[in-house]
Structure 1
């Protein structure tokens, strides 16, 4: 079995696609919501827009099924706010409502895959 190796092209050689210039087709405005805690009854949390999330942790979380995938989206989108969000008990019905509102904000229909196009 042989493999074909090609030499690494020089920086000035042409390429087929420049991923560096790709930009989002929609406004990546963050999603903000209120989720009070005993310590902070007016706490507001911010989630990055779904289309701007790093795909690698989302793909890893998706290996665990739908619930893991949803939690992976929340953890990635909340970033530094994840621990504050996670520290307050959250009923499942509220998590589902929050996820639906987040999907709507990001231009996706509830149940639509993270990787699918919103166009």
Structure 2
């Protein structure tokens, strides 16, 4: 990790990371943590992950699926897809603007 990332942290909103993970298909908690680490480099602690999962379920953006073992898989709902699309589109505009405003590298 570069020093600047250590100093300032990273974009790691657990809700957006979880929704992005579930956009690729249903997963249980540990699989989400691994997927999130692979695509973002962010390690979510179990307490952070499951707290965010509870909030996402309350909002109707994800739902638990039936499971025959103790691992509970979750999937993103249509409302969750709409919310994720809206948030990512907004961030895309912010990122594009920020990159345009940076001075040319020398």
The reply to whether TM is greater than 0.5 is no
Tell which structure's C-alpha radius of gyration is larger.
1
Q: Please, what TM-score do these two structures have when normalized by structure 2?
A: 0.30
Between Structure 1 and Structure 2, the one with more helix by share is 2
Q: Which has the higher contact order (CA 8 A, sep 6+)?
A: 2
